Amino acid sequence: MPGTLYIVATPIGNLEDITLRALRVLKEADLIAAEDTRHSRKLLTHFGISRPLTSYFDHNKDLKGEFILERLQQGQNVALVTDAGTPCISDPGYQLVRDAVAAGIAVVPIPGACAAITALSASGLATDYFSFAGFLPNRQGKRRERLQSLAGERALLIFYESPKRVLATLRDMLETLGDRQVVVARELTKLYEEFLRGRLSALIEQAEQREIRGEVAILVTPAEQPELPDTPAMEELLSRYLASGELSLKDAVKRVTSETGLAKSAVYAEALRQKG
């Protein structure tokens, strides 16, 4: 009989956040696959767990994926962990899960800490409808393009970001999304945990005056529902400009926004709809 692949969530900061079930699974696993074995060994040592470790991360996932699947098919149980939080959430692992399922191997989640949900729960923002967007591209052009594609989204947006790019990302958000209400959650569950709340413009001023350290989650309120009294005219104009082939989608949106006075996010959403 094949073994079981356990997807084990680990603490995102405070070690007390690990679950009793996670500790039991890690103690009983035949093999623990970790994003960074050095980091995971500290966690295991803290809880007195001594089990075989192997690395599994983006740059070796193909080779190590085959190795882990072989061990599973031999009947061994494998626990997959990431450096912090829940594996496969903006971290390597989904390919291993996909291949294990295809091979008929049982995959069992061991739930626990997740930075996105932790930040959401204490944000003070509406939580009934949200969209997790993960990490934005490093380059400004690609980052703004991704943000623009999300400008008309009606859900609360949740992003992860590196501290060295927080200020640049907030500025790009202001440019593409408008001056929305945001929450920046940093160092979650750690000693210097902090929630910064306010409009994008206000948080940019704060970030310009002080360094925001630690990994952060950025939560952005949804786009306001625009009034569309001239929706038919907007749709017709967009259709005409896009069909002509003379304007790019971006330029067509810019021209229609100027001619109708409608919110850029609404025009962009309609342009995407027409382009399929």
Question: The domain spanning residue 183 has which CATH number?
Answer: 3.30.950.10
pLDDT digits (tens, 9 = 90+) for 186-201: 999 999 999 999 999 9
Instruction: Identify whether residues 86 and 155 lie together within a single domain.
Output: no
Q: How many domains, the chain?
A: 3
Instruction: Identify whether residues 19 and 80 lie together within a single domain.
Output: yes
> Residue 96 CB: number of other CB atoms within 10 A?
26
- 8 A C-beta contact, residue 219 and residue 177: no
In a domain? residue 226:
no
pLDDT digits (tens, 9 = 90+) for 228-275: 445 667 888 888 888 888 889 888 888 888 888 787 888 888 888 888
pLDDT digits (tens, 9 = 90+) for 133-156: 999 999 999 999 999 999 989 999
Task: Measure the CA–CA gap between 39 and 164, rounded to whole angstroms.
Answer: 22
Instruction: Identify whether residues 121 and 213 lie together within a single domain.
Output: yes
Largest Cα–Cα distance in the chain? 68
pLDDT digits (tens, 9 = 90+) for 11-47: 999 999 999 999 999 999 999 999 999 999 999 999 9
Instruction: Identify whether residues 163 and 241 lie together within a single domain.
Output: no
Q: What is the pLDDT of residue 112?
A: 97
Average pLDDT over residues 216-221: 98
Task: Measure the CA–CA gap between 40 and 4, rounded to whole angstroms.
Answer: 20
Instruction: Identify whether residues 248 and 215 lie together within a single domain.
Output: no
Which structural domain, as residue segments, surrounds residue 248?
231-275
Instruction: Identify whether residues 12 and 51 lie together within a single domain.
Output: yes
